[in-house]
Chains A and B, each alone.
Chain A
Amino acid sequence: MTAPLLDVCHLTHVFRHGRLILRAVDDVSFQIQEGEIFGLVGESGSGKSTVARCVMNIYRPAKGSILFQGIDICDPRQRRANQKLLQTKRQLIFQDSASSLDQRMTVAEIVAEPMAIHRIVPPRGSLREEAKFQLYYVGLGEDCLDKYPTELSGGQRQRVAIARALSMEPALLVADEPIASLDVSIQAQILNLFRHLQEEHGFTFLFIAHDLAVVRYLCSRVAVMFRGKIVEIAPTGELFRDPLHPYTRALLSAIPIPDPQAERSRPLPPFDLPAPQGVLTEAAPGHYVLRSP
Chain B
Amino acid sequence: MSTVLYCLKKLAAFAVSLLVLSVVVFSIARLAPGDPLVSYYGDRAEKMSPAERAWAEERLGLHDPLPVQYARWLSNALRGDLGISYKYKTDVLEVIQGRLGNTLLLGGLGFLLIFGLSLLLGVLCAWFEDRLLDRWICRIGTVSSCVPEFWLSLVLILLFSVTLRLLPSSGAYTIGHAGDPADRLRHLVLPLTVIVLGHLWYYAYMVRNKLLEEVRADYVLLAKAKGLGKGAILFRHCLRGILPSYFSIIAISVPHILGGTYIVETVFSYPGLGALAYESARYQDYDLLMVLSILSGGAVILCSLIAQAVNERIDPRIRAGEVGPLV
Direct contact of A and B (CB under 8 A): yes
**Residue ranges of A at the interface with B (Cβ–Cβ < 8 Å):** 15, 17-18, 22, 24, 44-47, 49-50
**Residue ranges of B at the interface with A (Cβ–Cβ < 8 Å):** 321, 323, 326-327
A22 contacts B326, CB within 8 Å?
A: yes
* 16 sample A-B contacts, Cβ–Cβ < 8 Å, listed by A number: A15-B326, A15-B327, A17-B321, A17-B323, A17-B326, A18-B321, A22-B326, A22-B327, A24-B326, A24-B327, A44-B327, A45-B327, A46-B327, A47-B327, A49-B327, A50-B327
Question: In the complex, which residues of chain A have a beta carbon less than 8 angstroms from the beta carbon of B323?
Answer: 17
A16 to B, closest residue via Cβ: B326
- The A interface is mostly helix, strand or loop, or mixed, namely mixed
How far apart sit A191 and B79, CA to CA, in the bound complex (Å)? 76
A15 to B, closest residue via Cβ: B326
Question: In the complex, which residues of chain B have a beta carbon less than 8 angstroms from the beta carbon of A46?
Answer: 327
How far apart sit A18 and B323, CA to CA, in the bound complex (Å)? 12
How far apart sit A24 and B323, CA to CA, in the bound complex (Å)? 16
A51 to B: closest C-beta gap in Å: 11
Question: In the complex, which residues of chain B have a beta carbon less than 8 angstroms from the beta carbon of A17?
Answer: 321, 323, 326
Inter-chain pairs besides A15-B326, A15-B327, A22-B326, 6 sampled, C-beta below 8 Å: A17-B323, A24-B326, A24-B327, A45-B327, A49-B327, A50-B327
How far apart sit A15 and B323, CA to CA, in the bound complex (Å)? 12
How far apart sit A238 and B198, CA to CA, in the bound complex (Å)? 73
A24 to B: closest C-beta gap in Å: 5
Highest count of chain A CB atoms <10 Å: which of B321, B323, B326, B327 = B327
Question: In the complex, which residues of chain B have a beta carbon less than 8 angstroms from the beta carbon of A24?
Answer: 326-327
How far apart sit A176 and B199, CA to CA, in the bound complex (Å)? 47
How far apart sit A15 and B324, CA to CA, in the bound complex (Å)? 12
How far apart sit A50 and B326, CA to CA, in the bound complex (Å)? 10
Question: In the complex, which residues of chain A have a beta carbon less than 8 angstroms from the beta carbon of B326?
Answer: 15, 17, 22, 24
B168 to A: closest C-beta gap in Å: 54
A18 to B, closest residue via Cβ: B321
How far apart sit A47 and B325, CA to CA, in the bound complex (Å)? 12
How far apart sit A24 and B326, CA to CA, in the bound complex (Å)? 8
B321 to A, closest residue via Cβ: A18
How far apart sit A47 and B321, CA to CA, in the bound complex (Å)? 21
Question: In the complex, which residues of chain B have a beta carbon less than 8 angstroms from the beta carbon of A50?
Answer: 327
Question: In the complex, which residues of chain A have a beta carbon less than 8 angstroms from the beta carbon of B321?
Answer: 17-18
B136 to A: closest C-beta gap in Å: 32
Question: In the complex, which residues of chain B have a beta carbon less than 8 angstroms from the beta carbon of A47?
Answer: 327
A20 to B, closest residue via Cβ: B326
B321 to A: closest C-beta gap in Å: 7
B322 to A, closest residue via Cβ: A17
A45 to B, closest residue via Cβ: B327
B119 to A: closest C-beta gap in Å: 31
A217 to B: closest C-beta gap in Å: 26
How far apart sit A45 and B326, CA to CA, in the bound complex (Å)? 8
Question: In the complex, which residues of chain B have a beta carbon less than 8 angstroms from the beta carbon of A44?
Answer: 327
Highest count of chain B CB atoms <10 Å: which of A17, A18, A47, A49 = A17
How far apart sit A49 and B324, CA to CA, in the bound complex (Å)? 15
How far apart sit A239 and B327, CA to CA, in the bound complex (Å)? 26
Question: In the complex, which residues of chain A have a beta carbon less than 8 angstroms from the beta carbon of B327?
Answer: 15, 22, 24, 44-47, 49-50
B31 to A: closest C-beta gap in Å: 40
How far apart sit A44 and B321, CA to CA, in the bound complex (Å)? 21
A46 to B: closest C-beta gap in Å: 8
How far apart sit A221 and B16, CA to CA, in the bound complex (Å)? 58
How far apart sit A170 and B199, CA to CA, in the bound complex (Å)? 54
Question: In the complex, which residues of chain B have a beta carbon less than 8 angstroms from the beta carbon of A18?
Answer: 321
A287 to B: closest C-beta gap in Å: 27
A13 to B, closest residue via Cβ: B327
B323 to A, closest residue via Cβ: A17
How far apart sit A20 and B131, CA to CA, in the bound complex (Å)? 49
How far apart sit A51 and B323, CA to CA, in the bound complex (Å)? 20
How far apart sit A49 and B326, CA to CA, in the bound complex (Å)? 11
How far apart sit A47 and B326, CA to CA, in the bound complex (Å)? 10
Question: In the complex, which residues of chain B have a beta carbon less than 8 angstroms from the beta carbon of A22?
Answer: 326-327
How far apart sit A50 and B327, CA to CA, in the bound complex (Å)? 7
How far apart sit A49 and B323, CA to CA, in the bound complex (Å)? 17
Q: Across chains A and B, which 4 residue pairs bring their CB atoms closest together, nearest first?
A: A45-B327, A24-B327, A15-B326, A22-B326
